[in-house]
Structure 1
């Protein structure tokens, strides 16, 4: 196992927000069933899905929770030359009200339209608890990885408070992040997520993750990083660690 592959594997999971969920077919035993799903990460850094009770993949998971999520770099000209990650996992439907509320609060920020159909239809939150990862960083860069994800130290009220403050009072700073990172300007950007290694911005229907110059473990460090980036003339190169 290569420690150097841990961070790029995790960053790929952070940068993307949709993947191919493969489940064991209930109606066609022995055959895998693939479907495209959006996701965000929970407090433990595990993918959270919001899926319909009548969907085929839901019936499959209820029979066998073993599954995988394939995530690849978007807009790649050569899909075999860029990173992709297969996360093998066991899927668990969230049942406790507190867990559902926590998942909903973050998921709705990433995908605000989901709040409407979640309330109007029979949808449930599921979390994918990783068992192992297969990361390919390009030709010949192939790794089996066990522990890739990191817990988010700001998940919950702290993250929500920082995001609300940035969106309400510092729209100019967010616009500067968009310009420096070369992100689309098709719609005003909204901050929707903060973790120890970066932040998520939503622009229209798209989600974009931007890395902090170095990891942040406290709200004060996050504030310092956001101020630095708001004043920057170019996006700083993130400090790359092994974990």
Structure 2
């Protein structure tokens, strides 16, 4: 059960791209301080955030890195009947030059508008290193989990190569994925991330994660999955081929 719950929790973390970050208030000791932050997942599968040095939550984290990130399903009519995930974590600034560059490269793909204020203002990357997870999949489906994050085997040059290829040469296939998954179509979609379990599309300022029919462990398997989806009449589920 915990393996299945962990997969569902990770899928929720991948599907969403913003949550409520709760920190220990420096100005009001003893009180939690909540703020909304966008995030994407780094190479280790940990949430990566970009926050201003003058923000209250940044002051809080510098004093005490213990925090939580609450993620819930977007657009839910009954928030108590759908999935939500609380990550208890230690927040740490990304300080190594190469890691900062990798973080920026990934984060800008998901949130391109961040490039301007990151470069013009005092913003820094932090990552939330998991301590424990609390996943609720609906009424009665409640789990404490020690392992949810999954490292991305393609992070780096392999992922970049796949993204550049898809966005440059296969815009028709990407448009087909949007149609199959009933995603918003008011703007062209761009593929911005690939992991072993699916891929991210950015449409305007929204980010959407779509699952592969089965997990992929190599770029060749990713290619095969994307070709299958490009030819599908309906989105395959549970490892079953499309009609």
> Partner of 2:214: helix, strand, or coil?
coil
> Partner of 1:90: helix, strand, or coil?
strand
Specify the alignment match of 1:227 in structure 2: 227
Q: Is the 8 A contact 1:70 1:86 kept in 2?
A: yes
- Greater than 3 Å deviation, 4+ residue runs: none
Distance 2:237 2:153 in 1: 23
What are the ranges of 5 or more consecutive residues in structure 2 without an aligned counterpart?
A: none
Specify the alignment match of 1:49 in structure 2: 49
Q: CA RMSD in A?
A: 1.0
Distance 1:238 1:199 in 2: 16
Distance 2:49 2:183 in 1: 25
> Partner of 1:158: helix, strand, or coil?
helix
Distance 1:174 1:143 in 2: 35
Query: TM-score, normalised on structure 2?
Result: 0.98
Specify the alignment match of 1:177 in structure 2: 177
- Higher RCO (CA-CA < 8 Å; seq separation 6+): 1
Specify the alignment match of 1:153 in structure 2: 153
Specify the alignment match of 1:203 in structure 2: 203
Query: TM-score, normalised on structure 1?
Result: 0.98
- Alignment: residue pair count: 240
Write out per-residue CA displacement over residues 52-72 of structure 1, whole angstroms, 9 at most, x where no aligned residue: 000000000000000000000
Distance 1:182 1:239 in 2: 20
Distance 1:59 1:75 in 2: 31
Distance 1:41 1:49 in 2: 9
What are the ranges of 5 or more consecutive residues in structure 1 without an aligned counterpart?
A: none
In the TM superposition, 1:19-98 aligns within 5 A as: 19-98=19-98
